[in-house]
Amino acid sequence: MRSSLEEKHVSGHERIVKDSEIESTLLELYKRGSRKDFDLLNIKLQKITQPIKYLERTLKIENLNFNDYKEANEFAMELICKKTFIPKNVLNNIIYLVHSGCGIGKNMRGAMVVNQQGKRLEKDKEKGIRTSMVDFVNRNKVLEILKEKGFTERTLDALALSTKNLSFEGMLAEYCISDEPDYITGYVAVDGIYYRITPLKKEGNFFGGRIYFVKNDVDIDTLYYYLKNEPVLIKDIQV
Ligand code: PML
């Protein structure tokens, strides 16, 4: 589902479901899209013909709170430096990009891809790369568990994306902040853990985005193909 207003993207969502769930899912997607004002809402249905990869469980959630977003970003950078060996000053500049409009004065549509030399590898610097084709075998059950623990539907979607991302052999870590100005919780995914960090961005900031940190020898076409086209279903959650 994609909705827009005056040709500007407003919201998007994707599900992988069985035939028997199509009707109810269409309604869910419509309801989700209509939470925000739009003048165009498209819902597209696509049959999955390729084999589905099943992952046993999500990354494990570690929920962490900090005094302010600067302190939180210091912690986030430590995690990423340790894994990627990108020098701190280089990493700092890369992370600053998603807090300040990605060098193009607006949010990228997808994620930045950065290797261990701190070099950006996206094929298109405005589009970036979008992870899609990922869902839970039983999304409602997982959502219920997360909500009981005080997490949100955003956590559910982000956890699915980051679990697929880190299941790619050449992916080392992911950094994410929301582009919603009042959603200040973000995360770093690394070594099987989803570090859910509050606050990872400054309240009121309209900028946000994702950075995928990859190995130097990553094959960019294989990475794009896996993240965009290979269907992945996750069976269970770790909280
Ligand atoms: C969380 O609540 O676990 C963080 C989710 C970040 C979502 C970023 C986004 O808006 O896509």
Residues 9 and 80 in one domain: no
**Same-domain pairing of 86 and 30:** no
pLDDT value, residue 17: 97
The verdict on residue 141 lying in a domain is: yes
Yes or no: say if 14 and 132 are a contact pair by the CB < 8 Å rule: yes
Buried b (16+ CB within 10 A) or exposed e, 32-69: bbeeeebeebeeeeeeeeeeeeebeebbebebeebeeb
Give domain status of residue 13, yes or no.
yes
CA atoms of 3 and 19, how far apart (whole Å) = 24
- Do residues 58 and 38 both lie within one domain? no
Q: 30 and 61: one domain?
A: no
Q: 211 CA to middle of ligand 1, Å?
A: 13
Interaxial angle between packed helices 88-99 and 69-84, expressed in degrees from 0 to 180 and rounded to the nearest 10: 130
Judged by DSSP in three states, 58 sits in strand
Q: Tell me if 117 is assigned to some domain.
A: yes
Shared domain check, 60 and 164: yes
Based on the fold, state whether residues 138 and 171 are members of the same structural domain. yes
Domain count, the chain: 2
Distance, CA of 154 to CA of 70 (rounded, Å):
22
What is the domain extent for residue 33?
A: 2-42
Q: Which of 64, 176, 211 to mutate to test the pocket of ligand 1 (most atoms within 8 A of CB)?
A: 176
Among 1, 208, 228, 206, residue whose Cα is nearest residue 122: 228
In order along its 239 residues, the chain shows pLDDT tens digits of: 999 999 988 999 999 999 999 999 999 999 999 999 999 999 999 999 999 999 999 999 999 999 999 999 999 999 999 999 999 999 999 999 999 998 888 899 899 999 999 999 999 999 999 999 999 999 999 999 999 999 999 999 999 999 999 999 999 999 999 999 999 999 999 999 999 999 999 999 999 999 999 999 999 999 999 999 999 999 999 88
Q: Are residues 12 and 71 in the same domain?
A: no
- Asked if residue 153 and residue 101 are part of one domain, the reply reads yes
Q: Looking at ligand 1, which residue's alpha carbon is closest to its atom 2?
A: 155
Instruction: Take residue 32 and report the two structure tokens written for it.
Output: 């989700």
- Per the domain annotation, does 172 fall within a domain? yes
Distance 130 CA to ligand 1 centre (A): 15
Element (H, E) at 14: none
Q: 199, 69 in Cβ contact below 8 A?
A: yes
> Is the same domain home to 161 and 185?
yes
Ligand 1 center–CA 154 separation, angstroms: 5
Let me know whether 197 and 223 are in one domain: yes
Contacts of 38 (CB under 8 A, 6+ apart): 3, 4, 5, 10, 11
155 CA distance to ligand 1 middle (Å) = 5
Residues 66 and 34 in one domain: no
Among protein residues, the one with the nearest Cα to ligand 1's atom 11 is: 178
- Cα(196) to centroid(ligand 1), Å: 9
Please tell me what DSSP assigns to residue 129. B
In a domain, 47, yes or no: no
Q: Which atom of ligand 1 is the closest one to the Cα of 177?
A: 8
**Orientation of helix 139-148 relative to helix 153-166, angle to 10°:** 120
What lines the ligand 1 site, CB under 6 Å? 152, 154-155, 158, 176, 178, 180, 183, 185-187, 196
Q: Are residues 28 and 100 in the same domain?
A: no
Question: Helix (H, G, I), strand (E, B), or coil: what is residue 13?
Answer: coil
Burial 198-236 (b: 16+ CB within 10 A, else e): bbbbeeebebbbbbbbbeeebeeeebbebbeebbbbbee
Tokens representing 160?
Answer: 């699915």
Residue 185 is assigned to a structural domain of this protein: yes
- pTM for the model stands at 0.95
